[in-house]
Amino acid sequence: MVGAGSWGTAVAVLLARAGADVTLFGRRPEFVAQLARERENRTFLPGVKLPDSLRLAAELPDLGTLDWCFCGVPTRYIREQFAPFRGRVPQSLPLVSLAKGIEQETLLAPTAILRDVTGVRHALTLSGPSHAEEVAAGLPAVVVSAGDEILARALAELCSTKTFRVYYSRDLCGVELAGAAKNVVAIAAGIAEGLKLGENTKAALLARGLAEIARLGVALGGELKTFYGLSGVGDLYVTCASPFGRNRAFGRRIGEGESPQAILDSMEMVVEGYYTARALQTLARRHGVEMPICDEVCAVVYEGTPPREAVTRLMTRSLKAE
């Protein structure tokens, strides 16, 4: 596992508990030493004991000895983190992305970044409604693996336990787009919470946000049914509703009057939706897809539009059939 953030740590713990031989790699030696000493990731996943069998490393392992390599790095850092892997990764080694975002500069999804950087043949994703805190606590969760069908099924078998069920899919495009875009809608839902606009407003944002995501996803080559499954509506709901959702929390603080940059500066974890919003907007315009919620999130977080003004613009758009 490359990346010792909350989700990377949670999946490493999940696999180690299931009996897999797992090494958790962190890029900062002092942080890795702290994890080894305390057997707990107090920064990103406090209260969860690291299994004794889980190895920790601050140096890249011999990749030729691995059966799988998981990427628990936020989208905007994948290229930088995996650059040292260039020329060291066997082309047959499957890489598994846990990230949910779109690279701003290239508009690539995480698996495409991994393939671009490393030259591997197969990169898959593991996505769906799965907050790290609940998975690490052993609460039931159901997600989806996507990519090459044979490998996606093998990945599902590797990760599935009594409390963590994995379906598999060939729709890599749809699963990744859904996972990235839901973070932008979650920011909008959080803004609505901060403005105290009520549950009707949040329900509308989720429903119309899902419609936006599906329109773009299909335009990019995804399958419509994907957006009404675990990685679509399932992940969208939990990200907009869960107290663990940092994109929702980011939006709520904006709605309460804080500036986006001040909030980002105060948060230890990466707010993927902030960086995805602009890339999503660019993709939508390139493919002629309307995404008014995404547009207004961009206006608020990048252009300083007052949140209430953005809501008014959404509510007063021209009427049309659903």
Of 49, 162, 182, 202, which one is the catalytic site residue? 182
Distance of alpha carbon 319 from alpha carbon 91, whole angstroms: 52
Q: How far is CA 84 from the centre of its chain?
A: 23
Residues in the chain: 322
**Amino acid identity, position 108:** L
State the Cα–Cα distance between residues 269 and 101, nearest whole angstrom. Answer: 14
Per-residue CA distances from 256 to 51, 269, 272, 289 (Å):
40, 20, 20, 30
Cα separation values, 237 from 28, 98, 182, 229, Å: 34, 18, 9, 11
Closest CA to 15 of 185, 135, 172, 192: 135
Annotation marks residue 100 as catalytic: no
What is the distance between the alpha carbons of residues 54 and 280, in angstroms, rounded to a whole number?
Answer: 37
Residue 318, classed as helix, strand or coil, is coil
Q: Where are the beta strands (DSSP E) in the chain?
A: 23-25, 40-41, 45-49, 55-57, 69-71, 95-97, 123-127, 141-146, 164-169
Residues known to be catalytic:
182
